[in-house]
Amino acid sequence: MSSLPVETVAGLAAGFGTTPLAHPLDLLKLRLQLDTHRTSQWQACKRILSSINKNGNGTLVNLYRGIGPNIIGSTSAWGLYFFFYRHYKDLLIANSHSLENDNYLQPHHYLGTAFAAGASTAILTNPIWVVKTRMLATDRSSPGAYTSFLNGLYNIYKLEGLRGYYRGLVPALLSVSQGAVQLSLYDIIKKSLGPDNDTSSIHYLYASALSKMVATCIFYPLQTIRSRLQASTTHAHNSPISVLLNIVRYEGPLAVYKGLPANLLRVVPATCTTFLIYEHVKSNLVNIL
């Protein structure tokens, strides 16, 4: 079996394995991003959690609202991301006289292929993230709330047309830089720790945690802008620049970092687990096949 399907299967497994555990923090992070009050994040957290607790169906059920599209999105996104990342690296090596295999790749090669992989994945998965964002942003009892992933897809097409599926695509494509920086750093850090056959689980955890924290802190404002665009169902003030200016004007410049602590609590352990599953599934598939 070639490395391309191995990378894809490993990515699918990694995306599926981590999403359920991190989902409640994902919901909290998203609602913090959408919160327009000029209060501390701690006060906003208490207000959001109180609202979730009061809204019938049980707190745990409410915290897992939108888990369906989140699993679909994460599984497909990680699978596609690693598929395209491997595919573009293979294309680069095949069309270069100086690159024989991955060991010859330089940082700019990793960055370029990771960026291309992220852009391809963002375009294909954006409709899933729009539905997921809107489900996480609303309670089940909210007027117009989607009842399921398919219901969300249907209503978006019915009320907004195909354009509705691609709300927030511009900041999503800009956010590709985050994934490109993260994956490039991950490969560079992992490579610096030794050959693949000498790399341990601790090395994978270290490389994934450090690369994720650095990339997230740099590019987090783009996530806030994207979330607000995807949650909106109107076309007023609906460009990334207008959203950014409104946040800074009415909520202050630091408001673009709303939900960052909750996000780091979610994404760093989830990313470590994702890459650990990915590396071990990939290694086992290579050994078996």
pTM: 0.80
* Tokens, residue 51: 């609202």
pLDDT, one tens digit per residue, over 62-121 is 899 999 999 999 999 989 998 998 899 888 888 877 776 776 777 788 888 889 999 999
d(CA 96, CA 109): 11
d(CA 50, CA 53): 5
pLDDT of the residue at 283: 80
Question: What DSSP string describes 39-95?
Answer: S-HHHHHHHHHHHHHHSSS-HHHHHTTTHHHHHHHHHHHHHHHHHHHHHHHHHHHHT
DSSP 8-state symbol, 285: H
Count of structural domains, the chain: 1
Query: Which domain covers residue 70, as residue numbers?
Result: 4-287
Sign of CA pseudo-dihedral 177, 131, 32, 269: negative
* Tokens, residue 62: 């409410």
CATH of the domain at 112: 1.50.40.10
pLDDT, one tens digit per residue, over 160-181 is 999 999 999 999 998 888 888 8
